[in-house]
């Protein structure tokens, strides 16, 4: 099934170990991208002299966490000071090589075993610390038991060629044979989403009660959203601005009544300050509420104009990719611009009418930034980068964007998971082993 195996050991020990440091706790895909950036910064070849020429900030600009930069520095220092001499490692037995390599801060047993297998071509190394190997193991033995004992027991028969057998497992993985038995999500590193889900459930956030997900399902099932639905969703989006949603949520039926069930003409006839005052009475106002309420009339007129031009607002918002609809509704130069709704609030509004999208607000941009869980280079991910990353997650996990958005947002937001906040609670974070901050 896998075919004959042919391979050549790596001959650049230093670059290999830098690559291992980069790859720790990252999916293969992300690790590859970051290592290529490091390589480019080094002028195409990762050598100690090239790394020494770079500042920490330059190395971090590739997307590497501070801790990994310091590990690369430690390795480089050990090489420069000849605490580690790669040529000498060839003459040592496996245990001594492991000992030498793991004495360098940042090189753990996993990295050292990879070095034994892929650089020194040692024949009998069992890398049970490696997720990719375990995926192959689970596939080969049709098991979900990945405990060290179970792996060691089953793999006894591989001796004295455990490394060769492991290479077959990696090959099976590369050929895509193993996907079903272990799951793509784990390999791609998105298992953390299910950890987040478990955590949220454990603190009482009901992930299945996400109303936005219901809207997506309803739209998929053919629900048509009329102007009242659009006005309601736009107002809810406005209310979410700079305000913790858990403050708004208990008042939703009161709010629905206040806005006359979102009857356009009645809203237009009412003094906007009346709405604003009522919102403050309910303690649901924010610093923009007055201006938001004053913008309602114009926004309703824009909706009416869209209806005239496109037949319905639904027809308009599904007439182009969501990202360009967001641009049309939020860009000051656009004739469809909704007043008091920037890009993030337009995303929020569209989600509320069943469009599967992610709202790239502060929580998501921080969480998916380069210092935490993201693959970009900015500490606060750009709106485009959030969209790209969630798009990838959607493809890899089969989850909707709204679902992913809800999980990440709830994990970060005060009053919900409240873990990955502006001052993150990393010590109790259930996904810290995936995070660069840890
Ligand atoms: S809480 Fe800390 S460890 Fe967890 S995702 Fe946020 S920054 Fe990372």
Domain ranges of the chain: 13-180, 191-208+360-434, 226-352
Identify which of 152-166, 236-250, 328-342 has the greatest average pLDDT: 328-342
Q: Which CATH class is domain 226-352?
A: mainly alpha
pLDDT (mean) for 158-165:
93
Report whether pLDDT(330) > 70. yes
Query: What's the CA-to-centroid distance between 372 and ligand 1, angstroms?
Result: 6
With a 6 Å cutoff on the Cβ, whether 25 touches ligand 1 is: no
pLDDT of residue 188: 46
Q: Is 179 helix (H, G, I), strand (E, B) or coil?
A: helix
What angle is formed at CA 55 by the lines to CA 54 and CA 61, rounded to 5 degrees?
95
What fold, for 13-180? Endonuclease III; domain 1 (1.10.340)
Q: Taking a C-beta distance cutoff of 8 angstroms, is the pair 33, 188 a contact?
A: no
pLDDT at 3: 65
**The dihedral sign for the CA sequence 262, 264, 270, 271:** positive
* Average predicted confidence (pLDDT) for the chain: 88
State the closest ligand 1 atom to the C-alpha of 429, by its place in the atom list counted from 1.
4
Question: How far is Cα 417 from Cα 406, in angstroms, rounded to an integer?
Answer: 11
Ligand 1 centroid to Cα of residue 225, in Å, is 38
**CB of 18 closer than 6 A to ligand 1?**
no
Asked if the domains 13-180 and 226-352 are classified in one and the same CATH topology, the answer is: yes
Predicted confidence (pLDDT) at residue 423 exceeds the cutoff of 50? yes
Mean pLDDT of 217-230: 93
> Residue 365: which residues within 8 A CB-CB, separation 6 or more?
380, 381, 382, 383, 386
The answer to whether the CB of 424 is under 6 A from ligand 1 is: yes
Does residue 373 have its Cβ closer than 6 Å to ligand 1?
yes
Stretch 390-419: mean pLDDT, rounded? 88
Spatial contact of 194 and 404, defined as CB atoms under 8 Å apart: no
Of 30, 25, 3, 26, the closest CA to residue 177 belongs to: 3
Residue 372 near ligand 1, beta carbon < 6 Å: yes
Q: Which of 125-134, 144-153, 316-325 has the lowest mean pLDDT?
A: 144-153
The answer on pLDDT for 263 being more than 60 is yes
pLDDT greater than 60 at residue 182: no
Residue 29, by phi and psi: left (phi above 0), alpha (psi -120 to 50) or beta?
Answer: alpha
Smallest CA separation from ligand 1 atom 2, residue: 426
**Ligand 1: does its nearest atom lie under 6 Å from the Cβ of 438?**
yes
pLDDT at residue 153 tops 90: no
Which residues have a Cβ under 8 Å from the Cβ of 236 and sit 6 or more positions away? 248, 252, 348, 349, 352
> What percent of the chain clears pLDDT 70, i.e. is strictly above it?
95
Placement of tokens 């910064």 in the chain? 41
Q: How far is CA 297 from CA 131, 167, 265, 266, 315, in A?
A: 56, 66, 9, 10, 22
Ligand 1 atom closest to Cα of residue 438: 3
Write phi, then psi, for 41 (nearest 5 degrees).
Answer: -60, -30
Query: Does the pLDDT of residue 119 top 90, yes or no?
Result: yes
Cα gap 239→247, rounded to integer Å: 10
């Amino acid at each position: 099934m896998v075919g004959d195996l042919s391979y050549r050991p790596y001959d650049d020990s230093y670059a290999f170990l830098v690559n291992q440091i980069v790859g720790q706790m990252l999916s293969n895909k992300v690790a590859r991208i970051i290592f290529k950036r490091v390589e480019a910064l080094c002028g195409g070849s990762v050598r100690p002299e090239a790394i020494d020429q770079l500042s920490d900030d330059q190395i971090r600009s590739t997307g590497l966490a501070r801790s990994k930069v310091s590990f690369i520095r430690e390795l480089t220092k050990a090489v420069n000071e000849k605490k580690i001499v790669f040529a000498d490692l060839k003459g040592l037995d496996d245990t001594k090589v492991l000992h030498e390599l793991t004495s360098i801060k940042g090189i753990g047993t996993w990295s050292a075993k990879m070095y034994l297998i892929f650089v020194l071509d040692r024949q009998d190394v069992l890398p049970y610390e490696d997720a990719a190997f375990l995926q192959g193991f689970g596939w080969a033995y049709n098991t979900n038991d990945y405990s060290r004992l179970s792996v060691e027991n089953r793999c006894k028969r591989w001796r004295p060629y455990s490394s060769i057998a492991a290479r077959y497992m990696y090959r099976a993985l590369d050929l895509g044979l193993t996907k079903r038995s272990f799951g793509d999500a784990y390999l791609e590193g998105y298992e953390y989403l299910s950890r987040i889900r478990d955590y949220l459930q454990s603190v009482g956030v009901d992930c299945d009660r996400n109303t936005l997900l219901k809207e997506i399902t309803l739209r998929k099932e053919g629900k048509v959203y009329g102007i009242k639905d659009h006005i309601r969703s736009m107002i809810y989006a406005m209310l979410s601005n700079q305000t913790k949603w858990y403050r708004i949520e208990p008042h939703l039926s009161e709010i629905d009544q206040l806005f006359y069930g979102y009857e356009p003409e009645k809203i237009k006839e009412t003094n906007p300050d009346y709405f604003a005052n009522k919102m403050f009475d309910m303690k649901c106002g924010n610093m923009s509420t007055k201006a938001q309420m004053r913008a309602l009339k114009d926004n309703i007129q824009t909706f009416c104009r869209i209806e005239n031009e496109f037949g319905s607002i639904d027809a308009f918002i599904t007439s182009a990719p969501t990202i360009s609809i967001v641009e049309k509704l939020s860009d000051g130069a656009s004739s469809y611009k909704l007043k008091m709704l920037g890009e993030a609030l337009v995303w929020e509004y569209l989600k509320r009418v069943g469009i599967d999208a992610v709202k790239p607000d502060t929580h998501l941009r921080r969480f998916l930034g380069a210092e935490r869980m993201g693959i970009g280079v900015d500490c606060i991910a750009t709106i485009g980068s959030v969209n790209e990353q969630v798009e990838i997650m959607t493809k890899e996990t089969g989850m909707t964007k709204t679902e992913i958005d809800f999980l990440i947002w709830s994990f970060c937001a005060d009053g919900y998971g409240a873990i990955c906040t502006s001052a993150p609670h990393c010590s109790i974070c259930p996904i810290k082993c995936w995070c660069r901050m840890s």
